[in-house]
Amino acid sequence: MKKSLKERLAILSDAAKYDASCASSGTVKRDSSASGGLGSTEGSGICHAYAPDGRCISLLKILLTNFCIYDCAYCINRSSSNVERARFTPQEVIWLTLEFYRRNYIEGLFLSSGIIRSSDHTMEEMVLIARELRTTHNFRGYIHLKTIPEASASLIEEAGLYADRLSINIELPTDNGIAKFAPEKRPDGIRQSMGNLRLKIEEMAEPTLQSKRRKKFAPAGQSTQMIVGADGANDATILGTSARLYGSYGLKRVYYSAFSPIPDSSRNLPLIKPPLMREHRLYQADWLYRFYGFEIGEITATRPGGMLDLDLDPKLAWALGHREQFPVDVNRADKERLLRVPGFGTKTVKGILSARRFRRLRLDDLKRLGVSLKKVQPFIACDGWTPHRLVDRSDLAAMFQSKPEQLSLL
């Protein structure tokens, strides 16, 4: 018997939830006031709801179908899994997107799919949905398409004309991991697709001879996702892969997804609680690399086994390992040094640099800038404050450790 729309929505959103990204940011600003249609994007994304897993719900994140000819061990939709299968018609996806959007539940659509028949066939249906939304329904909201790596170049090119963001999942941090857990996927093919996407984005961004206006092609760029904790790769390897991906393909984001037990799981995989803290630390390290001027090597070099400290955030761990570089003088140090103080974010540093042009800063000033004094005091000096030997104390790390917690059984 054919499943109702509601039943299929349940199956196909359940199947999509292991994709971490729900971002609707980073695209061009546009709205419907001139076109009289529906939808807008205003630069920063909007999270319309949060689920109890702490993740934002910004987009209608669904699969076109969860039938898949691939058998990737970590994936809920792999062909050998006994999960219930379903599929939407393109018209149903369009209807859901528009009706949810009109009620302000979502910013747009994040469409992904299991591979049915062939890569091109699957990609064609996804492109059709994006094209219909944009042209027939005059939809100006956000569209994120998960690109099928083996799909033909012309389909990817068309996808980029309608979608804000395209993404291809790298899945696992090493080629060996992919070979083991996703035997049908080709890591070099994934890298080549990302490379082609970057070339296409750059080519389209070039002003043409005829007009200065640049063509719009995936204006929110491309992103990818790596599963953490399914294979044996350590944090240093994972972050090294991220750095390579950022540098090579101009990715907007690399998402880390703690491997989460899936229904009907393969025997090859750990059936444990997802390593959420590890995932969190990886995101922190990722931020340090992208916004705080840290090299990946600096963050992981001194860590045993190449694993980040789960008890301390990587910036604090780095500071405790480099005490000779502290205290940092808030009134004199340059931006690069200020950014290395645990407890100073990029906004705080901006505030300090602006404020100290007019007066010398004291602890009170920092407090008003929203800094947690307890956290920064050992690492800084300012008017009326020097930490003396605080930064050399052997129990300094312990001062930042969180209280012991009762472990749950699972």
Q: Taking the complex as a whole, how short is the minimal distance between the CB of residue 71 and another protein, in angstroms? A: 7
User: Phi then psi for 220, rounded to 5 degrees?
Assistant: -95, 15
Give the residue with the Cβ less far from another protein, 10 or 161.
Answer: 10
Kindly tell me which residue out of 118, 152, 234, 265 binds another protein, with binding defined by CB under 8 A. Answer: 265
Binding mask 289-328 vs another protein (x if CB under 8 A, - otherwise)? xx-----x--------------------------------
Give the residue with the Cβ less far from another protein, 108 or 314.
Answer: 108
Q: Which stretch binds another protein (CB under 8 A): 223-231, 346-354, 373-381, 387-395?
A: 346-354
Q: Is 17 in the site for another protein (CB under 8 A)?
A: yes
Q: Is 397 in the site for another protein (CB under 8 A)?
A: no
Kindly tell me which residue out of 43, 247, 304, 404 binds another protein, with binding defined by CB under 8 A. Answer: 247
Give the residue with the Cβ less far from another protein, 264 or 336.
Answer: 264
Kindly tell me which residue out of 263, 322, 332, 372 binds another protein, with binding defined by CB under 8 A. Answer: 263
Reading the block at residue 293, the tokens are: 């001027």
In the region spanning residues 44 to 73, those forming contacts with another protein, defined by CB under 8 A, are 46-57, 60-62, 67, 69, 71
Dist CA 356 CA 76 (whole Å): 54
Q: Which stretch binds another protein (CB under 8 A): 144-152, 157-165, 248-256, 316-324?
A: 248-256
Contact partners, residue 296, CB within 8 Å, separation at least 6: 236, 239, 240, 242, 243, 285, 289
In the region spanning residues 139 to 178, those forming contacts with another protein, defined by CB under 8 A, are 175
Kindly tell me which residue out of 155, 365, 378, 381 binds another protein, with binding defined by CB under 8 A. Answer: 365
Q: Is 382 in the site for another protein (CB under 8 A)?
A: no
204 near 217, Cβ under 8 Å? yes
Binding mask 176-215 vs another protein (x if CB under 8 A, - otherwise)? --------x---x--xx-xxx-xx----------------
Dist CA 61 CA 302 (whole Å): 39
For 350, 367, 383, the CA distances from 363, given in Å and listed in that order, are: 16, 6, 8
Long-range contacts of 29-33 (CB under 8 A, 24+ apart): 30/140, 31/140, 32/138, 32/140
**Residue carrying structure tokens 């992904």:** 112
Q: Is 43 in the site for another protein (CB under 8 A)?
A: no
Give the largest Cα separation in the chain, rounded.
76
The alpha helices in 182-304, defined as continuous H runs, are 187-205, 235-249, 276-291, 296-300
Kindly tell me which residue out of 258, 299, 333, 391 binds another protein, with binding defined by CB under 8 A. Answer: 258
In the region spanning residues 226 to 245, those forming contacts with another protein, defined by CB under 8 A, are 243-244
In the region spanning residues 82 to 101, those forming contacts with another protein, defined by CB under 8 A, are 82, 85, 96, 99-100
Give the residue with the Cβ less far from another protein, 90 or 187.
Answer: 187
Interface size with another protein, residues (CB under 8 A): 100
Dist CA 313 CA 326 (whole Å): 17
Q: Any bridge partners for residue 385, and if so which?
A: 382
Q: Is 38 in the site for another protein (CB under 8 A)?
A: yes
User: Phi then psi for 112, rounded to 5 degrees?
Assistant: -135, 175
Kindly tell me which residue out of 121, 359, 374, 388 binds another protein, with binding defined by CB under 8 A. Answer: 359
Nearest CA-CA partner of 108 in 69, 152, 149, 61: 61
Please work out, in degrees rounded to the nearest 5, the angle formed at the alpha carbon of residue 74 by the alpha carbons of 70 and 78: 30
| CA dihedral sign of residues 150, 119, 182, 410 | positive
